[in-house]
Amino acid sequence: MPLALLVLALSSFAIGTTEFVIMGLLPEVAADLSVTIPQAGWLVTGYALAVALGAPIMAVATAKLKRRSTLIMLMAFFIAGNLLCAIAPNYWVLMIARIVTALCHGAFFGIGSVVAANLVSEDRKARAVALMFTGLTLANVLGVPLGTAIGQAFGWRSTFWVVTAIGVVTIAGLIAILPRDKQETQSNILREIAALKNVRLWMALSVTIFFAASMFTLFTYIAPLLRDVTGISPEGVTWTLFLIGIGLTVGNLIGGKLADWRLGATLASVFAVIALTSAVFFYTSRFVIPAEITLFLWAAATFAAVPALQVGVVGFGKDAPNLVSTINIGAFNTGNALGAWVGGMVINAGLDFVHVPLAAAAMALIGLGATALTYLSGRAQTNPATAE
């Protein structure tokens, strides 16, 4: 794999860390800026909405630029956004800084995944995308716990200073190592927009939404579930999240190889295993060791879908790879919000946390149905990334 892929992976590590680390620092942020915890929580929601809404806008706005130049520009905005987070004098400046950073998120992952796939041969594209997204999984394994620890020890602003420094290293790597584009510009804007008429493309995007929903229905409430149902201590929850992060990383790498083999079959299998492990967790969540084993398998199955989802969407939108790839990142975030809402509805209905995994299993089964319609029917049996 080219060295440039490692630079893209470092970029995704930095972006993933800045997205999720705020959740571990909400009490510190709220206390320092004199707002409530729910108000501080809107910093998470605002970021996700900015990714979902801003990703396609940024993709169209940068369509006349070369991909290499676009990625460097987006990383510059990322650095500026995190720097503004570090020095934000009040809540609203911090919110604006988060939104500025989020606008770069979707476009960078979308365009970056296209660049990653173009760095390798046709039979290694999904593995290349998986390597780039390994940075995102490592952000959950290492970036978020370390960033939270730094923020708790030296103040929440110190975390954003560290992320800013990582961004500086990353942009230097992009400038020095990322190959220059052969084409003059990314694509024609009108052709990009016209490509969105493909019905099967929107079906593929719905698969992404249900994938993220099946994951975050459970993942959003995993900490209170482990504490209240499994009986794990706060320190034990941290180690369980670390274990889940390892599972996500392993699954992401395995999924890249499987997607290069049979994309549709990989996605169908992943949704089936997510549904199965989520349902099994309903029973094993009451016992520590079985719960840990189930969560590792669930995590590995979950992120095995990421490379296939990204490559599949780009395959259905070949005439607009940058735009559709970026929209797919927005679909991920839409699914994140949907999953959190579904899990919250279960809890608000008066059911125990232990019932949340069953809701996650239901979302996975819906995703399995969407996968069958999109990838396993008619011409969709052919890998959309290589089909004519």
| Predicted pLDDT of residue 189 | 58
| Predicted pLDDT of residue 369 | 92
* 261-313 pLDDT, tens digit each: 777 888 888 899 999 999 999 999 999 999 999 999 999 988 888 777 877 77
The pLDDT of residue 354 is above 80: yes
| Predicted pLDDT of residue 162 | 95
Examine the domain organization and report whether 83 and 152 are in the same domain.
yes
| Predicted pLDDT of residue 38 | 62
Examine the domain organization and report whether 1 and 81 are in the same domain.
yes
| Predicted pLDDT of residue 353 | 84
The pLDDT of residue 316 is above 80: no
Boundary-marking domain end, from 170, 186, 202: 186
| Predicted pLDDT of residue 19 | 83
The pLDDT of residue 148 is above 70: yes
Report the 10 Å Cβ neighbour count for 388. 5
Residue carrying structure tokens 């180690």: 239
Examine the domain organization and report whether 246 and 309 are in the same domain.
yes
Examine the domain organization and report whether 280 and 143 are in the same domain.
no
| Predicted pLDDT of residue 55 | 75
Mean pLDDT rounded to a whole number for the chain: 82
Examine the domain organization and report whether 197 and 157 are in the same domain.
no
Please report which confidence band the pLDDT of residue 191 belongs to, taking 50, 70 and 90 as the band edges. Answer: low
Alpha helices in the chain (DSSP H): 3-24, 26-33, 37-61, 67-87, 91-118, 125-138, 144-154, 156-177, 189-194, 199-219, 222-225, 234-261, 263-284, 288-303, 306-316, 321-348, 356-375
CA separation for the pair 82, 167 (Å, rounded): 9
Examine the domain organization and report whether 245 and 311 are in the same domain.
yes
Region 366-380: mean pLDDT is 78
* 197-211 pLDDT, tens digit each: 777 888 888 899 999
Burial (CB count <10 Å: 0-12, 13-18, 19+), residue 235: exposed
* 63-86 pLDDT, tens digit each: 777 888 889 999 999 999 999 999
Q: Say which residue, 64 or 13, is predicted with more confidence.
A: 13
Nearest to 108 by CA among 249, 7, 182, 245: 7
Examine the domain organization and report whether 131 and 203 are in the same domain.
no
Domain span including residue 362: 187-388
| Predicted pLDDT of residue 187 | 52
| Predicted pLDDT of residue 265 | 83
CATH of the domain at 26: 1.20.1250.20
Boundary-marking domain end, from 186, 215, 234: 186
The pLDDT of residue 1 is above 70: no
| Predicted pLDDT of residue 382 | 45
The pLDDT of residue 357 is above 80: yes
Please report which confidence band the pLDDT of residue 87 belongs to, taking 50, 70 and 90 as the band edges. Answer: very high
Examine the domain organization and report whether 231 and 293 are in the same domain.
yes
| Predicted pLDDT of residue 386 | 46
Boundary-marking domain end, from 186, 212, 234: 186
Please report which confidence band the pLDDT of residue 355 belongs to, taking 50, 70 and 90 as the band edges. Answer: very high
Q: Say which residue, 71 or 57, is predicted with more confidence.
A: 71
Please report which confidence band the pLDDT of residue 344 belongs to, taking 50, 70 and 90 as the band edges. Answer: confident
* 31-45 pLDDT, tens digit each: 899 887 667 767 877
Q: Say which residue, 36 or 24, is predicted with more confidence.
A: 36
Percent of the chain with pLDDT over 90: 25
Examine the domain organization and report whether 280 and 366 are in the same domain.
yes
Examine the domain organization and report whether 174 and 282 are in the same domain.
no
* 172-183 pLDDT, tens digit each: 999 988 887 655
Examine the domain organization and report whether 258 and 376 are in the same domain.
yes
Examine the domain organization and report whether 40 and 74 are in the same domain.
yes
Domain count of the chain?
Answer: 2
| Predicted pLDDT of residue 43 | 81
Residues in Cβ contact with 330 at an 8 Å cutoff, skipping those fewer than 6 apart = 51, 52, 53, 55, 56, 106
